[in-house]
Amino acid sequence: MASVSEIITRPRERVHAVKWIKNNLFSSWFNTLLTVLSSALMYTILSQLFIWIFTIANWRVIAVNLRLFMVGTYPLEQIWRLWLCVAIGTTLLGLSWGIWPHVVSRVAMVYGTALLLLALAPFGVTTRIWLAGCGALVFVGMLVGRRIPDAGRWVALTWLVFLPLMLILMRGFGTFLPVVQTRQWGGLQLTLVLAITGIALSFPLGVLLAIGRRSPLPAISLCCTLYIELIRAVPLITVLFMFQIMLPLFIPGGESFDRIVRAIVAFTLFTAAYIAENVRGGLQAIPRGQFEAARALGLNPFLTMSFIILPQALRIVIPANVGQFISLFKDTSLVVIAALLDLLGIGRSVLAQSEFLGLQTEVLLFVAAVYWIFTFSMSHVSKRLEQTIGGGNR
Amino acid sequence: MIGRKDLSKADDIIICRGVHKWFDDFHVLKDVNTTVKRSEVVVVFGPSGSGKSTFIRCINRLEEHQQGQIIVDGIELTNDIRNIEAIRSEVGMVFQQFNLFPHITVLDNVTLAPIWVRKWPKAKAREVAMELLNRVGIANQSHKYPGQLSGGQQQRVAIARALAMQPKIMLFDEPTSALDPEMIKEVLDVMIELAESGMTMLVVTHEMGFAREVADRMLFFDHGQIVEDGRPEQIFEDPREDRTKLFLSQIL
């Protein structure tokens, strides 16, 4: 008789491919029918799509206008500044990969490899050097990041500093960096600027609004509630319109604000209201006992909020907040009402060129693919973030 | 009883005079008068809804009383926020549901308040925390998260967390009621050791064995009032009030 103390390993369940297919796709006549029908349908659609992509589509419209799609009418001789932003960004991405491998490893790896592969494409020499350099920096950053696993705080801080630095580099100042007017910004560059600054500014504002709405002081809570409810009652496009067209009417000197700044403010104020409601949901999910335990230890309300309540609440609302950020990313295309040419706006202006009339499908498919790359990266990182910091402690 | 402390010379650390409290129109505490001496161990018991938890939550002002006077270690509890925070850092509390912070490690749970409220250097806080975790027998779990520990272990961490602030008084609000039976003893052992070390303790509990062994005094609460106040041997052997008699007969 086997003694109980003997370690019996759990029998391994081998999944045979054939068995899996049989169990999942052909388990009954009805499932078999569904499988056959849906594969036929998928085959028809996908084969048509592939044939179209590889034989019929005229991708010259993208190839010729690629620079326009990426950076709008940003002056050619200043493009190195944008490349420098990308290089700093990829280095930080690499460092983050080394320090928080669970969260960004896959995204960083894919981005790095993609940049290196793109360097093989028939672009100009400088472009290929920049592409290869940025791709390599991801992997160099990763190797460095692994050596300094405790530098997480510094890397996070650098990410924060990177944001204003990026804007300064793009706009320029003084004699060394000639000013590039924001009306020359465009394409993916503009989309990213709007989205990244919008996200970075609306998040802290949203958190403050959420805390304010729960404040015991009626004046503060009323103001926050009013703000949130007012903004949420208005469509985004209206908020954008207000800031673009009506602001100069009401505020003397309002027309002196840059159009992009006005757009960023509008996106920030709009998104913050939604973030605030998400975060408020998270705050409400924290049991009363957590507040009581913190208070009983003598922690003041500020310490309680920042060390006990917010870290737990923000963790809960990662999925909701990232959803909000993804939607902000896509909604940046509404700046077309302010005559700003973001990625989609450039697409429309390209289609107006007589040479490329009627190539909507190609252009829209390309623009959609670029949006998808970024939004999918965001949702992937958020999923990893949830798994890493949300697991194992409840 | 052998080894019971001599409290005749001890000073009063908690004084309650004519304390009343209402939850809306419900009168929870009705004219509560009592004093607790330094190093005294007081067990508070009574039927549920009798106001015993509310009473000890008033001592560190997790609940406000609306009438009467509560003086803790010479400071009267008023709406003055500085008074309240001063008292809270002198009064430790252990809850029925442990209320550990689930997002940080056991060690961080214990060091958080000393570092940020007492402003101790991290090294000192960590040293004191490890000593306390050792005392409650879970030093080897210090790197884990609360969710990875059993209920009994979590409650012992909660006791260590409260003790890390070096409080003068410890309040226990039904510390063993949420525990599986086999874990009650490990928590009571820690509390007994604490009582013997001279800590002033106010304990809401139904663990009558604990009361018999270490309590200096017992308060029987019913309908928001202290119905009976006496030494454990008197309460158990010769309760004066019929309500006390009835309640004890139901739980023993």
pLDDT, tens only, A234-290? 999 999 988 888 777 777 766 667 888 889 999 999 999 999 999 999 999 999 999
B30 and B221 in contact (C-beta within 8 Å)?
A: no
**d(C-alpha B64, C-alpha B19), whole Å:** 10
Nearest CA in chain B to A296: B88
Tokens, residue A388? 């890493």
Average pLDDT over residues A31-45: 94
Chain B partners of A295 at a C-beta cutoff of 8 Å?
A: 62, 88
* CA–CA dist A182, A167 (Å, integer): 10
Q: pLDDT by residue (tens digit) across B39-85?
A: 999 999 999 989 999 999 999 999 999 999 999 998 898 888 888 88
Contacting residues for A213 by C-beta, under 8 A, at least 6 apart: A221, A224, A225, A228, A276, A280
d(CA A40, CA A49): 14
Whether B114 has its CB under 8 Å from any CB of chain A: the answer is: no
Cβ atoms B94, B170 nearer than 8 A: yes
pLDDT of residue B2: 43
- Taking an 8 Å cut-off on Cβ atoms, the answer to whether A293 and B95 are in contact is yes
Give the per-residue pLDDT at A393. Answer: 46
Q: Do B85 and A300 touch (CB under 8 A)?
A: yes
pLDDT at A387: 84
**B224 Cβ under 8 Å from any chain A Cβ:** no
With beta carbons under 8 A apart, name residues in chain A contacting B158.
293
Q: Select the residue from B53, B83, B88, B118 to test the A interface by mutation, using most A Cβ atoms within 10 A.
A: B88
A185-394 has CATH 1.10.3720.10 classification: yes
| pLDDT tens-place string over residues A68-102 | 999 998 998 889 999 999 999 999 999 999 999 88
Across the interface, do B146 and A312 touch by the CB < 8 Å criterion?
A: no
pLDDT, position A392? 43
- Judge: B145–A296 Cβ closer than 8 Å, yes or no: no
Give the amino acid at A90.
T
In this prediction the ipTM stands at 0.92
Q: Which residue of B has its CA nearest to A290?
A: B99
Query: pLDDT value at position A4?
Result: 57
- Distance (Å, rounded) from C-alpha A373 to C-alpha A346? 18
Among B95, B99, B111, pick the best mutation site for testing chain A contact (most A Cβ within 10 A): B99
pLDDT at residue number B86: 85
Q: Do A297 and B85 touch (CB under 8 A)?
A: no
Whether B1 has a pLDDT exceeding 50, the answer reads no
Scanning A285-358, the segments in alpha helix (DSSP H) are 288-296, 301-303, 310-316, 318-331, 343-351
Convert the pLDDT of each residue in A354-363 to its tens digit.
Answer: 888 888 899 9
Q: Taking Cα atoms as reference points, which of B224, B241, B175 lies closest to residue B16? A: B224
User: Residue A72's closest CA among A372, A340, A351?
Assistant: A340
Contact partners, residue B182, CB within 8 Å, separation at least 6: B152
CB B161 within 8 A of CB B190: no
Residue of B nearest to A294 (CA): B113
What does the pLDDT read at residue A172? 86
Give which of A208, A209, A180, A102 is closest to A145, Cα–Cα.
A102
Arithmetic mean of pLDDT over chain A: 90
From B180's Cα to the closest Cα of chain A, the distance in A is: 19
Q: Where in chain A is the domain with CATH 1.10.3720.10?
A: 185-394
From A289, A299, A311, residue closest to B116, measured CB to CB: A299
In angstroms, what CA-CA distances link A108 with A99, A101, A212, A234? 12, 9, 37, 37
Residue B203 sits at the chain A interface (C-beta within 8 Å): no
pLDDT at A183 (0 to 100) = 84
Q: Which residues of A touch B93 (CB under 8 A)?
A: 293, 296
**For A393, which of B103, B112, B113 is closest by C-beta distance?**
B103
Q: How many Cα atoms sit within 13 Å of A273 on the Cβ side?
A: 20
pLDDT over 50 (residue A394): no
> Whole-model pTM?
0.86
Query: Cα A83 from chain centroid?
Result: 19
CA distance A297 to chain B (A): 6
How far apart CA B42 and CA B62 sit, in angstroms, is: 19
Q: Are A294 and A358 in contact (CB under 8 A)?
A: no
Interface test with A, best of B77, B103, B120, B168 (most A CBs within 10 A): B103
